[in-house]
Structure 1
Amino acid sequence: MNSPKKPNLDAKDILAMIIAAFELLLPPVLIIFGAVIAIYYVLKFLTT
């Protein structure tokens, strides 16, 4: 990492970083998404 201004990344490295980020972020995102949907349907059921 000699030049932090312009990192020399090819598509393989970027794809690997994106996949790693998805593997890190996907479980909490799924939990939050499921909780939001559950709360939405509970509120919809209670208010109608």
Structure 2
Amino acid sequence: MVIAFQIILLAVMGLSIFGIIGERENKGIRDALLTAFIASTAAYIASVMLL
């Protein structure tokens, strides 16, 4: 179950990082994607500690 959660978090991290790279015009969307990336990274680190 934890491994499936980690795979989902990796997908969220990947999509958000590509969104951050691709979004240059709208600062609000870029900030939201950066927040999603930071939150998913923190959740991934916490889930690794559970293993």
TM-score scaled by length of structure 1? 0.48
Bigger relative contact order (CA 8 A; separation at least 6)? 2
Q: Which has the larger radius of gyration?
A: 1
Greater percentage in helix: 2
Structure 2 length normalisation: TM-score? 0.46
